[in-house]
Chain A
Amino acid sequence: MIAASMRQGSAADAVDGVVPRQVVEPADPNELAATLQAASRDKQITVLRGGGTKLGWGRTPAAIDLIVSTAKLNTLLVHRHGDMTATAHAGVTLGQFNRELARHGQWLPIDSAFDGATIGGIVATNDSGPVRHRYGTPRDLLIGVTMALTDGRIIKAGGHVVKNVAGYDLGKLASGSFGTFGAIVDATFKLLPIPQASATVEASYVDGDVLAQDVMKVSTSQLEPMAFDVMLEGGQYRLRLLFASSPEAVSAQVESAQRLLSRPSTVVTGEPEMDVWVDQVRSPWAGTGAVIRFGWLPAKLADITTLMHDVQQMAGSIVMCGRVGTGAGLMRVDGDVRTQAAVVERLRSSVWVGNVVVLRASHDLKQHVDVWGPAASAADAARALKGMFDPSGILNAGRGPI
Chain B
Amino acid sequence: MDERLVEEFCRIAGTENVLREPIKLLTYECDALPHLRQMPALVVLPGSAAEVQAVVRLCAREGVPFVARGHGTGLSGGALPVPGGVVISLARLNRVLDVDIPNRRVTVEPGVTNLEITKQVAPYGYYYAPDPSSQQVCSIGGNVAENSGGAHCLKYGFTVHHVLAVEAVLPNGELVQIGSPLPDAPGPDLLGLIVGSEGTLAVVTKVIVRILRKPESVQTLLAAFNTISEAGAAVSDIIGAGIIPAAVEMMDAVAIRAAEAAVHPNFPPADTILIVELDGPSSEVRELFAVVEDTCRRAGATTVEVAPDDTQRMRIWKGRKAAFAAMGRVSPNYYVQDGVVPRTKLPEVLGRIAALSQRSGLPIGNVFHAGDGNLHPLICYDERIPGQATLAEEVAGEILTYCVEAGGSITGEHGVGADKKDYMPRMFSDDDLDVMQKLRDAIDPRRLCNPGKVLPTPRLCGEVPGPYRQHPVEAAGLADRF
Contacts and interface: CB of A to CB of B under 8 A. Distances in A.
Interface of A: 77-78, 80, 82-85, 87, 105, 126, 136-137, 139-140, 149, 153-157, 159-177, 180-181, 192-196, 216, 219-224, 245-246, 248-249, 251-253, 293-300, 323, 326-328, 353-355, 357, 372-373, 376-378, 380-382, 384-385, 387-388, 400-402
B377 interface: no
24 contacts: A78-B482, A80-B344, A85-B342, A136-B161, A155-B432, A156-B432, A157-B436, A159-B427, A162-B373, A165-B196, A167-B454, A167-B455, A168-B454, A216-B102, A249-B281, A252-B282, A295-B180, A373-B186, A378-B177, A381-B190, A384-B442, A385-B442, A387-B442, A388-B439
Nearest to B148: A165
Interface in B422-464: 424, 427-429, 431-433, 435-436, 438-443, 454-455
A87 B192 contact: no
Nearest to A147: B435
B408 A161 contact: yes
B189 to A, nearest CB: 4
B294 interface: no
Ranked nearest first, the 8 interchain pairs of A and B with the lowest CB-CB distance are A172-B192, A295-B182, A299-B102, A249-B284, A252-B283, A193-B242, A222-B216, A82-B344
A58 to B, nearest CB: 10
A114 B124 CA distance: 40
Contact of A299 (B103, B186, B420, B455): B103
A82 B436 contact: no
B265 to A, nearest CB: 25
B287 A246 contact: yes
B185 A376 contact: yes
Interface stretch (B6-14, B42-50, B152-160): B152-160
Interface string B174-196: 10111011111111111111011
Nearest to A246: B287
Nearest to A402: B187
B372 interface: yes
B114 interface: no
Contact of A157 (B243, B416, B432): B432
B185 A381 contact: no
Given A153-B431, A156-B428, A328-B183, A180 B188 contact: yes
A351 B372 CA distance: 42
Contacts of B414: 165
B77 to A, nearest CB: 14
A85 B341 CA distance: 12
B411 to A, nearest CB: 5
Interface residues of B, number: 95
B184 A298 contact: no
B149 interface: yes
B111 interface: no
B432 A167 contact: yes
Contact of A384 (B177, B443, B455, B477): B443
A142 B399 CA distance: 26
A174 B188 contact: yes
B182 A355 contact: yes
Contacts of B433: 167
A274 B368 CA distance: 40
Nearest to A83: B342
Interface of B: 100, 102-104, 125, 146-147, 149, 153-154, 157-158, 160-161, 170, 174, 176-178, 180-193, 195-197, 213-216, 236, 239-240, 242-244, 280-284, 286-288, 340-344, 369, 372-374, 407-416, 420, 424, 427-429, 431-433, 435-436, 438-443, 454-455, 477, 480-482
Contact of B176 (A153, A170, A377, A385): A377
Contacts of A177: 187-189
Contacts of A221: 213
Nearest to B178: A378
A385 B281 contact: no
A323 B218 CA distance: 27
Contacts of A372: 186-187
Given A166-B416, A298-B102, A376-B177, 11 more contacts: A83-B343, A140-B161, A162-B373, A166-B424, A176-B187, A249-B287, A295-B185, A355-B182, A355-B185, A378-B178, A381-B176
Of the listed residues B161, B193, B436, the one surrounded by the most CB atoms of chain A closer than 10 A to its CB is B193
A295 B373 contact: no
A172 B193 contact: yes
Given A298-B103, A378-B177, A163 B189 contact: no
A162 B374 CA distance: 9
B158 A167 contact: no
A181 B435 CA distance: 12
Contacts of A162: 154, 372-373
Contact of A252 (B183, B281, B372): B281
Contacts of B161: 136, 140
Contacts of B420: 166
Nearest to B403: A161
A241 B213 CA distance: 17
A177 B181 CA distance: 19
A163 B368 CA distance: 12
Contacts of B482: 77-78
A192 B244 contact: yes
A4 B29 CA distance: 60
B281 A253 contact: yes
Nearest to A182: B435
Given A80-B344, A126-B189, A224-B280, A354 B180 contact: yes
Contacts of B149: 163
Given A163-B413, A224-B281, A381-B176, A357 B184 contact: yes
A382 B415 contact: no
A85 B373 CA distance: 13
Contacts of B477: 159-160
B197 A168 contact: yes
A159 B409 contact: yes
A376 B280 CA distance: 37
Contact of A175 (B178, B188, B436, B439): B188
B438 A173 contact: no
Contacts of B181: 297
A159 B408 contact: yes
Given A77-B481, A140-B161, A298-B103, A220 B213 contact: yes
B348 to A, nearest CB: 12
Contacts of B435: 149, 153, 155, 170
Given A173-B192, A194-B242, A298-B104, A222 B281 contact: yes
